Structure 1
């Protein structure tokens, strides 16, 4: 339409447009889109940041609480087991017989005259051997006769046993095996006859030491025959120890069901090493003849608190640990930092307020039990019977997240603490914060650009396009936009119509391609894995028990292929792989993947099979038949080596970008290794496969390989 033929309304509209001095529709739209989008992005980002940061913080704390609870349960169960075992050991017939016989022998020794020179021998031993070693380790001073028993029997036993311990790192084990005082006494006969019971308790039950007391408080027998042997727990040098108190309490009950657990104390006969005991009367329901005291190994406690030093594997990262603290605010287990880096521990302990002498001593003895003080708020709250978490100063002066609780063990007033450095515990929170900020900046930039683009595109005819777009979105691909104008919007309408037609055609192609993709996807992986992949799983893996694995490798194909064209080579390789696939289907074996010169298959992975091992061996033998037929048809001399193993495997998608379904694990590795034990063609199986199929197939021994730290025999199928 020309200017001369324009209607009055049109001319008025043009004059209005020319005379307007405000912002254009495009500018207004741009401002509105930017304002709404930017404000929304900031609000959503802030809400997500606050909620996400709180969730990550709570997750870190919850994990620490869980670890603390698990360790507490393990420690409680272990102490219950120790007390139960001690009660059983003290009530069995061997303990009763030992107690009766040793008590009688000790009483008989008490009536005999003292052998000449025994006192002098004991004085020399303590003055020249034991006390110098004890003073070197404790820094205290002791009298030369402070530990010599008062009784004749006790002096006799120490002269014949204890004085033999000259080397404190070696002679203890010798004395553990030696139960003969070489004196032809009734005591000696009883010790030789029944003393092996104590030896087995130490070696098999895992106790650090074991003592047998009579009803008068005399230590009448000792596994290691140390300075406590022959002394009296009621009147002797160890009368003020916790084991003496536990003995008195246990005997006073006159019940073999009594079990008394002591806290750690420094045990002088053990050269001042921290020791704890479990004491139980010996006898039966009719009478009590004495008491047994079993020394609990310090390693037992440390293995429980440190998870056998497997901190990382158990969720404590690089700095986390679990430790125990007594009512005296001293540790009852070892510090992780001391175990991993003694020099760093000493430096941090001193900087954290620990006396340098204590820190140095902890490093020297390689332990913090009864040395490292812990006076944190977490310990105070736990000692008050409360459980909870806190963030603040730890026992070495650092900043830690701590979960604390009292330890529910009868007879022990301990608390359990789980801690991890705050920096490590909240590292995910810091990472999340950085990610949210970067993402928000990216969103703001993207929104700004998108708003600018949309503002340039949207005009009044957009409503028609929006309506048509909605219809397309609803699935109506036959929609057409009226092309009433000849400007850019007319072109846009024409393009939209073309787009709708194109979408219709493409949708048909997509539907066809989707069906084809579904079929191809199921050829690459099992159906259940394909379903998870289509749902967007980033990492798909499954563990499988009792799966047999076959790894087959072509021998000589490369040499044969050098004389072929690429088309011939791939054709022959496809022929072999089709033969392998047919053999797998016939044997009920699942193909995992194929390589240019190899073939990996499994049985029992997708479909559990009771006879998966037999099927795998059958399949491997059938592969030899496929190779023989190929050689006969093509005049070749290609060989095949196959390895078979069974066990636990893991399957899943490897390398997201290349989409490869694979299988890995010990069974796969061993199948791969056994195939090449001789380098000759054939089917080779592991010892496990041989054991399960030797009644079905004939085997010959092919060699050995190192697996799982042992030498394993490899067998060849005849």
Structure 2
């Protein structure tokens, strides 16, 4: 009988319970905990992140605007204070008795020079002075080339004063220190009396110059005695400028309390854009003239650029503060122009500036009165408004700009502090990235915890494995950080000790190899050494055009009887080192050194077309070395050298003791020429004589037996000593 098994069915309630909770029931506790932490972290991170993002972004943007505005206000206050201090100081100096007495004395002395003359030498010196002064000043106000002839002084007082006080000096720093030409004139007497007073004003306030002008427009005094000394600003070559207009206003004010200020402009005697401070000089009843001080743009640039220390003032990599005049032209230099002129030209042209204007900035060596700034911030500030905005700057870069007018009476300037938005809002972008990244990290932190623990457990082993692979590849500088104090930490420490020992041994081997190569290079040329190290045993080479020199020092044998061996070795080593240095500088190869002789060749391993000339020059230099050493030491030493040109052979001789040597008929003849003459001197064969007799003087010195019979020998005479 066959029996079939009966299917056993689960109770109905149990099946429903499994269906309702089947997914959760199949999850492990670790997975459930991971899911709970994940959901909690997502919700909390989302809420905190949204609140932090809005609050942080608003605070960071506001701080950037505030910092830029603070820098702008600080620069503006410093500028206004500087101008105010200068105006007050000028008013004090100009209304004093010293200034009034000075302008009266200089005016009287200037008037007496109408009939003064200068001699021909002074006239020539004056012309050279103008050529020198205006050599680099190639552009006038309109950007045209300057004609120096049109600037030469015409009036007698101007010619006379510049001939005595300007032309004799190479620079203005010396001219301002010169008080009296001792020519007996009243002008020189006035200069001797008052020059120190005005010189102190110029130095104290770092003015470019200080001028005294009479009521007829004559520059009767200049502190630096430049080319404007003696000129007339109403009719002279410098009449086209702001100085003339400001001078007329100062006289028209008829008040010694008046202080006028000009905008920056081009003034030919100056090397950079110049502004003027002017104040009448005299009494309340009568104005005797005007004192004008020359204010250089470098003072403004030092203030606006913090002398190049933009980063220290909080301007970062791209921030700067600029001044702009009513003509929309800069009144200070661009930061990018100072840091990288090529990049400046490229950026301003890309930003819309015509290329010829960008190139003019290069010619003028600055952007003042050249570079236009046609931005909305400048336009708004010129209307008297203060604020901040984001727009493209004069470089074409989007920038955060804080602007305001500058409170300087008579000057309609605006100040703009700017910084590229990429840099300005970098903290905001960084904050956003950090917030997003931290949120993501929080979300995945719980999920990665278990995986990281496993990886942390095996990480020391993997570090050791990587370190062993690096050592196997020849890198013995491996040092694995020790992160724990357990067995893995002890094993890592032992591994690092092994790595250090291997590195020390490898370093010692490298030093030994380098020392071996250095010693071999002292015995043979580098190409021969490389062939020897490559395993060649027989190394020899024929050379067709080589000049060989045999030389010895006469007198060393006599010294050997008078000196100890150590003292004699000092003499030989001193001469040999100097010979080696001369050979290296002239391209001559040292072959070997004997106790009283020296063998060298040129064109041996390095072919040279002028090897004969080099060898003869080397022999002459050896002769100088011996003569100089003999004169310094008092020893009776002289050089005897023989030189021949032709074919030679070279190579390594010996096995246990290697010697690099040259041989052949040319070598033998050079030796016989040298040894065959008992007197000191430089002896050459006919082949050397044929090459060098056109440039050096030789005399016949007998004959010597050569490969092809008897050959004449020549002795060098009259070489430079």
After TM superposition, the score normalised by the length of structure 1 is 0.54
Alignment-derived partner of residue 58 in structure 2: 54
Q: Is the 8 A contact 1:256 1:284 kept in 2?
A: yes
Which one has the largest radius of gyration?
2
How far 1:157 moved relative to its partner?
A: 2.1
Question: Alpha carbons of 1:224 and 1:361: their partners in 2 closer, same or farther (altered >3 Å)?
Answer: same
Q: Is the 8 A contact 1:212 1:293 kept in 2?
A: yes
Alignment-derived partner of residue 379 in structure 1: 378
Question: Alpha carbons of 1:47 and 1:114: their partners in 2 closer, same or farther (altered >3 Å)?
Answer: same
- Secondary structure of 2:138's aligned partner: helix
Question: Alpha carbons of 1:43 and 1:356: their partners in 2 closer, same or farther (altered >3 Å)?
Answer: same
Quick one: which of 83, 90, 97 aligns to 2:87? 83
Please list, as runs of the form range in 1=range in 2, the aligned pairs for 1:219-298 lying within 5 A after superposition. 219-271=219-271, 273-298=272-297
1:336 maps to 2:335: yes
Question: Alpha carbons of 1:299 and 1:449: their partners in 2 closer, same or farther (altered >3 Å)?
Answer: closer
Alignment-derived partner of residue 202 in structure 1: 202
How far 1:195 moved relative to its partner?
A: 1.6
Please list, as runs of the form range in 1=range in 2, the aligned pairs for 1:154-193 lying within 5 A after superposition. 154-164=158-168, 170-193=170-193
Alignment-derived partner of residue 404 in structure 1: 403
- Secondary structure of 1:216's aligned partner: coil
1:260 and 1:137 map into 2 onto residues whose CA distance is 24
Alignment-derived partner of residue 134 in structure 1: 137
2:440 and 2:148 map into 1 onto residues whose CA distance is 79
- Secondary structure of 1:74's aligned partner: helix
- Secondary structure of 1:195's aligned partner: helix
Question: Alpha carbons of 1:33 and 1:229: their partners in 2 closer, same or farther (altered >3 Å)?
Answer: closer
Alignment-derived partner of residue 442 in structure 1: 441
How far 1:246 moved relative to its partner?
A: 1.1
Question: Alpha carbons of 1:288 and 1:42: their partners in 2 closer, same or farther (altered >3 Å)?
Answer: same
2:63 and 2:139 map into 1 onto residues whose CA distance is 49
How far 1:351 moved relative to its partner?
A: 3.1
Give CA-to-partner distance per residue, 1:37-69, whole Å, 9 cap, x none.
745542442232122112211211111111111
Alignment-derived partner of residue 420 in structure 1: 419
How far 1:70 moved relative to its partner?
A: 0.7
- Secondary structure of 1:268's aligned partner: coil
Q: Is the 8 A contact 2:400 2:421 kept in 1?
A: yes
1:30 and 1:276 map into 2 onto residues whose CA distance is 75
Please list, as runs of the form range in 1=range in 2, the aligned pairs for 1:576-655 lying within 5 A after superposition. none
* Aligned residue pairs, count: 434
Question: Alpha carbons of 1:428 and 1:20: their partners in 2 closer, same or farther (altered >3 Å)?
Answer: closer
- Secondary structure of 1:412's aligned partner: coil
How far 1:251 moved relative to its partner?
A: 1.4
How far 1:130 moved relative to its partner?
A: 5.0
1:364 and 1:239 map into 2 onto residues whose CA distance is 23
Give CA-to-partner distance per residue, 1:551-587, whole Å, 9 cap, x none.
xxxxxxxxxxxxxxxxxxxxxxxxxxxxxxxxxxxxx
Give CA-to-partner distance per residue, 1:354-377, whole Å, 9 cap, x none.
344443443455422122222222
How far 1:164 moved relative to its partner?
A: 3.6
* Structure 2, gaps ≥5 residues long: 1-12, 450-721
Q: Is the 8 A contact 1:164 1:171 kept in 2?
A: no
1:294 and 1:419 map into 2 onto residues whose CA distance is 32
- Secondary structure of 1:270's aligned partner: coil
How far 1:418 moved relative to its partner?
A: 0.9
Question: Alpha carbons of 1:434 and 1:134: their partners in 2 closer, same or farther (altered >3 Å)?
Answer: closer
- Secondary structure of 2:176's aligned partner: helix
Q: Is the 8 A contact 1:118 1:155 kept in 2?
A: no
Question: Alpha carbons of 1:348 and 1:89: their partners in 2 closer, same or farther (altered >3 Å)?
Answer: same
1:326 maps to 2:330: no
1:270 and 1:156 map into 2 onto residues whose CA distance is 21
Q: Is the 8 A contact 2:250 2:279 kept in 1?
A: yes
1:181 and 1:145 map into 2 onto residues whose CA distance is 26
Question: Alpha carbons of 1:208 and 1:26: their partners in 2 closer, same or farther (altered >3 Å)?
Answer: farther
- Secondary structure of 2:307's aligned partner: coil
Alignment-derived partner of residue 110 in structure 2: 106
- Secondary structure of 1:265's aligned partner: coil
Give CA-to-partner distance per residue, 1:420-454, whole Å, 9 cap, x none.
1211111111111111112222344468999xxxx
Q: Is the 8 A contact 2:64 2:424 kept in 1?
A: yes
Question: Alpha carbons of 1:147 and 1:82: their partners in 2 closer, same or farther (altered >3 Å)?
Answer: same
1:216 maps to 2:221: no
Q: Is the 8 A contact 1:126 1:145 kept in 2?
A: no
Question: Alpha carbons of 1:134 and 1:428: their partners in 2 closer, same or farther (altered >3 Å)?
Answer: closer
Q: Is the 8 A contact 1:362 1:368 kept in 2?
A: yes
How far 1:18 moved relative to its partner?
A: 8.1
1:31 and 1:171 map into 2 onto residues whose CA distance is 84
Please list, as runs of the form range in 1=range in 2, the aligned pairs for 1:458-607 lying within 5 A after superposition. none
Alignment-derived partner of residue 655 in structure 2: none
Q: Is the 8 A contact 1:323 1:418 kept in 2?
A: yes
- Secondary structure of 2:400's aligned partner: strand
1:301 maps to 2:300: yes
1:127 and 1:193 map into 2 onto residues whose CA distance is 28
1:441 and 1:125 map into 2 onto residues whose CA distance is 77
Question: Alpha carbons of 1:15 and 1:226: their partners in 2 closer, same or farther (altered >3 Å)?
Answer: closer
2:445 and 2:148 map into 1 onto residues whose CA distance is 86
Quick one: which of 83, 87, 93 aligns to 2:97? 93
Alignment-derived partner of residue 655 in structure 1: none
Which deviates more, 351-360 or 18-27?
Answer: 18-27
1:437 and 1:242 map into 2 onto residues whose CA distance is 59
Alignment-derived partner of residue 65 in structure 1: 69
